[in-house]
Amino acid sequence: MDTDTHTDTAELKLLEAAEALFDERGVQAVGMDAIRTASGVSLKRLYQLFPSKDHLVWAVLKRRDSAVREAIAAHGAARATTPHERVLAVFDYLGDWFADPGFRGCAFINTFGEMGGISPDVADIARGHKRALRQYFAEQTDALGAPRELADQLAILANGAMAVAGISGSAEPATQAKSAAKTLLDAALAP
């Protein structure tokens, strides 16, 4: 799916309302009427902007994908000066995110679980988002001269922490994953 990068006020209201409702209740439990009511946008305008719920789900995930990628990069740039520190800063970012009272798990993991088998567009964007996280780790581990598989291991730690934090309602998985990541980095970089 492709959408215009220009976002008008009604579209923004719809995306924000849909994102909040999807996070709170899950994608399949939320109908277009609920999104219309929460956004204050007419049903006619909603369907002009998003001809189907799948289009809206895709747009919400696309928006979140951009926001998360930017936030991780900014978090690393603000708090770290080396690739080693930037890897660990991802887990600090996750800890901050998990501690947010509105955290209900990773939208990509949750939405893939609900719709990945029936919506190729949802599956594609979820997979692309997870590839981007792995790529961010690969950029850092490549700069360290670490083995290639370390990026995969770090991505598994981060995604596992997201799943466990979403289920447990605790930020602690980020701390545990960061400790494991440090152990992996130290082992990979040992002389």
Per residue in 129-151, pLDDT tens? Answer: 999 999 999 999 999 999 999 99
Q: Does the pLDDT at position 109 exceed 60? A: yes
Q: Which CATH superfamily is domain 53-189 in?
A: Tetracycline Repressor, domain 2 (1.10.357.10)
- Domain positions in the chain are 53-189
Per residue in 10-42, pLDDT tens? 999 999 999 999 999 999 999 999 999 999 999
State pTM to two decimals: 0.90
> 52-79 as b/e, with b when 16 or more CB fall inside 10 Å?
ebbebbbbbbbbbbeebeeebbebbeee
pLDDT value at 6 more than 80 = no
**Structure confidence at residue 4 (pLDDT):** 45
> Rounded CA gap, 118 and 170, in Å?
30
